[in-house]
Every structure is written in C-alpha cells, then in structure tokens.
A and B are shown apart, each in its own frame.
Chain A
Amino acid sequence: MEGTVAHWALVLQGTEQTKRAAAAEKLAQCSLPLAPAMVALVQAAGDRDDGIRMWAAEALETAGRPAASDALRLAAFLTTAPIGADGESAYWAAKVLGRLGPAAAPATSALATALKESPYLAVREQAAAALGRIGPAASAAGSVLREAAAGGPPRLVRLAISALESIRGMAA
C-alpha cells in the first residue's frame, strides 16, 4: 500500500505534521488519479500548516473528479466549517463538487447554504458554479441563485445567472 494514493491520503490524515506535509507534496507530484485522496486533500487545504495547505491546494488544482460516493462527505465541508476556518476547505469542496457535474446533486442543499451564508466570496462563487454544473437536478437552489443573480460582485452574478440557465436546461 505504501506509495499509493490511498497510503498518502492516510498519512495526510495522521497527526505528524512533517509526514503530513510530505504526503501532501507526494500527492501533488503524483500522476495517478487522486479521487481516493480527495476528501483528505480538501480537509488539508484548510490546515493551519502553510506547507500542508499549499501542497494540498496544488494537488487539488489538477486532481480531477472526486468519487461520486464522496459527494456528501465533501458537502460537509460547506456547512460544518470549524471555528477559525478561513474558507479554503469549503472553497475546494465546492470546486471539486463542481467537477462531478450532475453526480453532485446530493450536495445541492449544502451548496445552496454555502452560496447564501458563506462569508467568503470565493466560496459563494464556487458554490454557484457547482450548482450550475449540477444542472436541472439543482433546481431546489433556484431561489438562492436568483438572489445572488440580483446583484453583487460581478463574477458571482455571472455565475448565478449561468447556473439558473443551466438548471432551466439552457446551455451555459
């Protein structure tokens, strides 16, 4: 198992900071699919250790799609941020959920909550983008998206409008 994505994911979730940082770096340098490590990486993206955060974010940037079966575990980062969290884990959770497309439908409610309540613009934007990529199955988020589309930061407005069009079945 040592040297596999699953192994480095386990180390990343461990308690030794040096080993965790090395695991995040290994995952960022890995050319294998990172789905088995996605939840661990999203959690690590919000770590207090700068090195762990940096390499986790680097790994996530090109990690590809998470497993559809992890949608709800990823959604949990959107609604249960620990005290002192800076939104980085929530940002990445929304971003990788967006990569799932319609398969992220089980996370619609959490994404809508993040869009409405997150204090972080980048999280709200990624939540809107993810809802748009879910498409019609995210119709329950329509009212929150309309609210976001009504006015605010330009990118958030664009993403909300695009998501509403996508939910209506119109091409984005």
Chain B
Amino acid sequence: MFWFRKRSRSTKSRLPLTRFIGPGATIAGLLALLGFGVTKGVDFSKLDSGVAQVKSQLEAPRPAPAVLTSNKPTDRIRIASFNIQVFGDKKASDNNVMGVLANICSHFDVVAIQEIKTPDARSLDRLVERINAGGGRYAGIVSPSLGRTSQTEQYGFIWDTTRIRNVPNTTYVVNDAEDRMHREPMASTFETAVPPASGRDGFKFTLINVHTDPDEVKTKGPDNELNVLDDVYLSIREFEYARQGEDDIFLLGDLNSGYGKLFELGAIPGLESVTGDQPTNTVGNKQHDHFLVDRSTTTEFTGAAGVIDFVADFGLTLEQAKLVSDHRPIWAEFSAYEQPAFTAVAARPTGNGR
C-alpha cells in the first residue's frame, strides 16, 4: 500500500523533495540516576539550575539558558516527541517561548516535532539556533508541508550532533497514494556516536513521526488513521530491515487518542506505548501522544520513559504554558550501544502500553 518518498528538507541544505526509493510491502544521566521511570515526570529542577531563569524569562526577556549537554550520560540517550502547537513565525519570534522550547529540547538527544507551521524550515532553524546559542550543537531537518487544505503542517527532527548522527538517505515521507492519512508520517534513521575505543556499535534506530487528524481516529473502519498506521509501521519495519537490517523502529507523536484506544496500531504484537497512560496535554487531563516501542526487538530500551510536565517543572502559570504548547513532551531512554534483539527484554514498566 505504501511507498516511501524522499520529501525532507535540512535546515541547512535541502534534500530532493521527491525521490522514490522503492516500495514497502509496503531519543539524564541524572534522570536515570534519580531513577525516574515510566510513571514519573521529569523534575527539571534536578537537572537544570537555569529553571528559575526560564520562569523569569517569561516575565522579561533574558539570554538563552545554559544548555546542559555535559550532563547527558555517555551510555544512554533520550529521545523525545513534542507537538509544538502552531509552531510558526509568531512563536518562533517569541524570545520567551523559544527559551522554554530550547531548554526542553536541549535535554534530549533527538526530538521529533509535530505542528511546524511555516512553509520552509525557518521555525525549526530558529529553534536550533537558539539551542546552539546556549552552547549546544544541534541540527535539524523538516518535511515538506503536509495536509489536505491550505492549513498544512511540517514534521521535524532535531538532534544533538555531538552524540547522534542522521544516517544519510534514510529520511522520507510515506507515499500515501490512496490518501489514507491527512498528514503522511515522516521517517528517518539515526545512530549514536560512540567512542571507537568502546569496541561496540552505536545504537541505530528509525523514528516514524506522526500527527493524526483528530476526526479520523475515533470510528471503526479502514479509514481510521490508527488502522492505517499499523500498516505504515509494519511496512517501514519490513522496508528498513530489508535495506539496512534495521529492527529498532519507533512510532512517536500526537495520535489524538488515549491509552488502550489505538485500534489496529495497538494490536501489533509487542508494540507498547511506553509512557503509559499519563496525560500529555498541557492542562493535564487527556492523553494524545505516544511513544511506541517493540520491546521484543528493542532491547536497548532501558525501561525509563515519561511525560514532561513543563508547567510544574518550569514553574509556569497555565496561561504562560499555553503560549509554549497545548502538549507536553514525551520521552524514552535507550542504551547508546546496539544490542542484539531477542536476548533479553528490559524490565517492564508499570502498565501495558496498549
């Protein structure tokens, strides 16, 4: 059903917008030390002495907070997903909001972003520039604008280039010839940079970045996007395994659906929503976002995952937080080293992801 087409743009250099690459039959060291697991949030005050700065930034603009790249563990990485509501020119021009976004993103090695609303890469460029102005060395890539009407969106990935590399020629948007999805998912493969002296391979993984249409995930039937995404996931897994032997495939993003309501996507054996049933909207009363991991193949998953309550962690008022996003970021932690599948399954977190 699905083909894959190269349709992504680097924030620095553009890749071909359309390139068919064949049919598919189709992201704390302190974090882990503190022992945060799937049912707990991240207390950024434990991580970041700059939190108070960020709070005051919302009251009066200040320089970007320090980026704590030095605090990232060498043997683990953290991957996040963040729907940055209507991430367009207005938000990208707001110094205070961008300070919070940069601070949040800088704690992660890779961030999958949804709801970028500029016709090019400039919103993401500004985020990357803001992170890097604080000492980070991040890069980013965005998809083309996607959608059925004039109100289109882009997906994006940003990553810490000191720890992660984006594998060349692995970024594409799923070719949805039958128009099964409002916004076709974007996929890209990343690999951790590990010291040669380790004698080990870096952890390589493929991320499928998704933002569903809320009206298309509620009813039974083949056009329910959650009944399409299982095919997307399986197709990409087959495709990536065939071409690069990749078996660590994560689907993450805003699925506009709660825990246990993932329809056919939730029925894929082994696939778990590792952040559990925690609310992911900023108000804190609904779950929209998921980080799906097949724990039978991804033994690199450490069992640590969660939702960032940036309202509490940054000491924001709800009104201030809503200027940042209506979603909370979600995250999961993995070994930085490739491990063989099927040898052992990491300790299961509380709850079941489906």
Contacts and interface: CB of A to CB of B under 8 A. Distances in A.
Contacts, number: 55
A70 to B, nearest CB: 17
Contacts of A49: none
A54 B117 contact: yes
A128 to B, nearest CB: 11
Dominant SS among interface residues on chain B:
loop
B148 interface: yes
A155 B150 contact: no
B122 interface: no
Interface string A52-75: 011101100110000000000000
A162 interface: yes
B223 interface: yes
Contact of A62 (B180, B214, B322): B214
B12 interface: no
A172 to B, nearest CB: 5
Interface of A: 28-29, 31, 45, 51, 53-55, 57-58, 61-62, 86-88, 91, 95, 98-99, 121-122, 125, 153-155, 158-159, 162, 171-172
A158 B215 contact: no
Contact of B86 (A31, A54, A86, A158): A54
B178 A122 contact: no
A159 B223 contact: yes
Contact of B180 (A45, A87, A98, A155): A155
Q: Which 5 A-B pairs have the closest CB atoms?
A: A155-B179, A57-B151, A29-B322, A122-B148, A154-B178
A86 B179 contact: no
A31 B223 contact: no
Interface size class of B (residues with CB under 8 A): 20 to 34
B88 interface: yes
B184 to A, nearest CB: 13
Contacts of A58: 85-86
Given A58-B85, A86-B150, A88-B149, A99 B220 contact: no
Contacts of A62: 214, 256
B48 interface: no
A62 B219 CA distance: 16
Nearest to B90: A51
B270 interface: no
A53 B150 contact: yes
Dominant SS among interface residues on chain A:
helix
Nearest to B177: A154
Nearest to A158: B223
Interface string B262-273: 000000000000
Contact of A88 (B86, B150, B256, B322): B150
Given A31-B283, A61-B214, A154 B179 contact: yes
Given A98-B215, A172-B221, 17 more contacts: A29-B323, A29-B326, A57-B149, A57-B151, A61-B214, A61-B215, A88-B149, A122-B149, A155-B178, A155-B179, A155-B180, A155-B223, A159-B223, A162-B221, A162-B223, A171-B220, A172-B219
Interface string B69-93: 0000000000000000110101000
Contacts of B178: 154-155
A115 to B, nearest CB: 16
Contacts of A88: 149-151
Contact of A53 (B90, B151, B221, B283): B151
A55 to B, nearest CB: 7
Contacts of B85: 28, 58
A62 to B, nearest CB: 6
B221 to A, nearest CB: 5
Contacts of A125: 148
Contacts of A153: 179
Nearest to B117: A54
Nearest to B147: A122
